[in-house]
Structure 1
Amino acid sequence: MKLIELKVNEFINVVDSKSPAPGGGSVAALSGSLSSALANMVSHLTIGKKKFRALDEKIQLEVKEAMVVLESKKEEYAKLIDKDTEAFNMIMAAFKLPKETDEDKKIRADKIEEATIIAIEVPREVAENGKSILPALEQLFTYGNQNCLSDLGVSALLLHTTIIGAVMNMKINLSGLKCEDLVSSYQKVIDELTAFSNNEVLSFVNKVYNKL
């Protein structure tokens, strides 16, 4: 059974186990899905309201487009919950390959490198997806139901957890990568995503907090 198909209490108990997966990567992806879903709850509680209908049609369309983005990201993140655990399992499988002969060792090393790249790419996708959520949150901050501001703030905090949590998973897997060019390239991505979340996402969190 896929992780996404588990009941909430079942998922929590699977995380609370001796198994190293699902771990922080899958939980970060879940956080992203919840961030998107919670923001979209604000959309549902905004569209159709009298104040919303009084807005310019162009603005109404932009908010509805933000709603579509949030729905899409919610689904993408849901898939990434399992993808992260699958990536971890690939690394574990690669480390278990035989290493008796020189050929065995080469095959094993190549498989570990391939699996490590996948284990970096999945959290990268988790973190990168978060960049398209913030504009939707900004739209809802300005035009959304003001009674839902605290929900929007929690959504933004979950987004920060998603991005930084995914970045941490990139970093820990980066230490196992042998290709120096790839390490350098991924480090730039890590720095950019970290700066985005620490500056822009947390700035939005503070903006919501100060308006409450």
Structure 2
Amino acid sequence: MRLVDLTIKDFSDQVDSSSPAPGGGSVSALSSNLGVSLSRMMANLSFGKKKYEALDEAIKEEFKSRFEKLGNIRDEFLNLIDEDTKSFNEVMKAFKLPKETEEEKKIRKEAIQQATIKSTQVPLKTAKLSLEALRLMEYFIEYGNQNAITDLGVGSLLVYSGLEGAILNVKVNLLGIDDQELVNNMNKECQDILEEGKKINDNILNQVHERLK
């Protein structure tokens, strides 16, 4: 059974166990999924309302386009919840390979490297999608239903948490990779994602707080 098919309680119980997976990577993907869901809820509560219908047609088209794109990203996050745990399990599987002979040691080391690289790619995708989601969500501040502005704020918090959580998982896996050029490039990419994501999240939250005065 996939993790996403579990009840909320069962998923929570699996995280709250002695098993290392599902762990931070899967939970980060779930966090971003829930954050996007909240932002889309705000959008759903905007459609058909007088203030929304009075907007310029170009604005409404952009609003709808972002809403639809966020729906696709939301589905991707659901896949990444399970993909992250699968990639972790592949790393554990590689570590269990035999290492009695020099040939076995060589095969094992290469398998560990490849599995570890894969285990960085999954959370990196979560981080990239989270940043894309934040970029799309930012538009809703001005044109979305202001009665649901706090839902957008909570959504932004959750997506940014998913973003930074995913990056933490990338970084810890990079510690086990020998290819220094790859490590340096991914660290730089992570830093860029983190900085832009924080900027957007701060902007959304500042505007939400401003509207609550």
Using structure 2 for the length normalisation, give the TM-score: 0.97
**AA matched with 1:197:** G
What displacement does 1:140 show? 1.1
Per the alignment, residue 179 of structure 1 pairs with: 179
Matched with 2:7 is 7
* Matched length: 212
Query: Deviations 1:16-65 (Å, cap 9, x if unpaired)?
Result: 11100000100000011101111000111001111111111111111110
Structure 1 residue 197: Cα displacement? 2.2
CA distance in 2, matches of 1:135, 1:169: 22
Mapped partners of 1:48, 1:110: distance in 2? 56
Q: Can you list the C-alpha shifts for 1:69-116, whole angstroms capped at 9, x where unaligned?
A: 111111000000000000100000000000011110110000000000
Give the Å deviation of 1:130: 1.4
User: Following TM superposition, by how much is the alpha carbon of 1:202 offset from its aligned partner in structure 2, in angstroms?
Assistant: 2.3
Give the alignment's TM-score, normalised by structure 1. 0.97
Q: Which runs of 5+ in 1 are unaligned?
A: none
Counterpart in the other structure of 2:62? 62
1:116-173 Cα distance to aligned partner (Å, 9 max, x none): 0110000000000012212322221110000001000000000110110000000110
Q: Distance in 1 between matches of 2:200 and 2:49?
A: 29
Report the identity percentage: 42
**Cα-to-partner distance string for 1:151-204 (whole Å, 9 max, x where unaligned):** 000000001101100000001101000111111111111111121222222232
Q: Which runs of 5+ in 2 are unaligned?
A: none
Q: Which residue in the other structure is 1:144 paired with?
A: 144
CA distance in 1, matches of 2:132, 2:178: 31
- The residue aligned with 1:32 is 32
> Is contact 2:135–2:200 with CA below 8 Å preserved after alignment?
no
| Equivalent position SS for 1:199 | helix
Report the equivalent of 2:22. 22
- The structural deviation recorded for 1:206 is 2.1
Partner of 2:129: 129
